[in-house]
Amino acid sequence: MSSIQSASFPTGESGEPVAAQIYLQPIAAPSVLGLYAFAGATFIVAARMAHWFGGALTDDYLAAFAAVFGGIAQFSAGMWAFKARDSIATAMHGTWGSFWIAYGLLQLAFMTKILPEPAGAFPALGFWFIVLAAITWMGMWAATAENKLLAIVLGLLAAGSTVAVFGELLGAGWIQMFAGYLFILSAIFAWYTASAMMLESAFHRSVVGVGKTVRAKQAPNLMPGQGEPGVIRGQ
């Protein structure tokens, strides 16, 4: 038989219950920073993959920017998404932010000759793209419930990761180039999505459209105080 325990409330000097005080900590939408950081790092590195620019030392030059902007900034956004109670942003920014930090460290290891840089196929990185693709496809599926633009961003990112698997496992330059173009498209949509979210937050109304689904539009208006941890959920 289950027992019911009475709740304990703070009381004043007279023994009467006193009103509880709730302190809110409003935060900005973490995905604005996360998507901008992802868009910047992905566009630059993917443009290199697509052979738009670069030489023998380009990856070494890009490593620090990718690790800090695409990695630390995006990973931080993922951690703030915990407070905003946004599981999609937490998973995606945390996953890809970690990847960009690792990418920067890997390029540093190549640059300092701690590790030899593969000349052709790179199975160790190819198998990591399998993991990234699997996680990102699930993120895209989850995003279809709330934000169409975010679903497009993640869909293109997952597709690029899937193609990159074969490019790295086979060492085929043309496949890696195709993956680069998919990543570029993902970065462009990420930039647009982050801009739409930032403008909506600034003007307190939709300016260019954030791609919210019907289900998301039916949710209560979260402005002002969007992202208050423990109170509401939102990017």
pLDDT (tens digit, 9 = 90+) per residue, 171-209?
999 999 999 999 999 999 999 999 999 998 889 888 887
Kindly state the percentage of the chain with pLDDT values over 70. 79
Name every residue whose Cβ is closer than 8 Å to that of residue 103 and which is 6 or more positions away in sequence.
Answer: 45, 63, 66, 67, 70, 71
Does residue 31 contact residue 89 with C-beta atoms inside 8 Å?
yes
Burial 174-206 (b: 16+ CB within 10 A, else e): ebbbbbbbbbbbbbebbbbbbbbbbbbbeeeee
Token pair, residue 74, equals: 């995006």
- pLDDT (tens digit, 9 = 90+) per residue, 30-76? 999 999 999 999 999 999 999 999 888 888 899 999 999 999 999 99
pTM over 0.75: yes
Report how many domains make up the chain. Answer: 1
Looking at the domain assignment, is residue 25 inside a domain? no
194, 39 contact by CB (below 8 A): yes
Q: Is residue 52 part of a domain?
A: yes
pLDDT at 142 exceeding the cut of 90: yes
Inter-residue contact 152 to 189 (CB < 8 Å): yes
Q: Which of 7, 46, 27, 34 is nearest to 177 (CA)?
A: 46
- Provide the residue range defining the domain that includes 104: 30-217
Residue 11 lies in a domain: no
Q: How far apart are CA 169 and CA 121, in angstroms?
A: 5
**Six-digit token pair at 207?**
């300016």
Task: Assess if residue 235 is contained within a domain.
Answer: no
Q: What is the pLDDT of residues 81-114, one digit of tens each?
A: 988 889 999 999 999 999 999 999 999 999 999 9
- Whether residue 57 lies inside any domain: the answer is yes
Residue 95 lies in a domain: yes
Residue 204: inside a domain: yes
User: Cα–Cα distance between 78 and 80 in angstroms, integer?
Assistant: 5
Q: Phi, psi (5° rounding) for residue 127? A: -70, -30
Contact predicate 41/100, CB 8 Å = yes
Cβ neighbors of 23 (< 8 A, separation 6 or more) are none
Q: What share of the chain is helix, strand, coil (3-state, %, to 5)?
A: 65, 0, 35
Confidence at residue 154, expressed as pLDDT on a 0 to 100 scale = 97
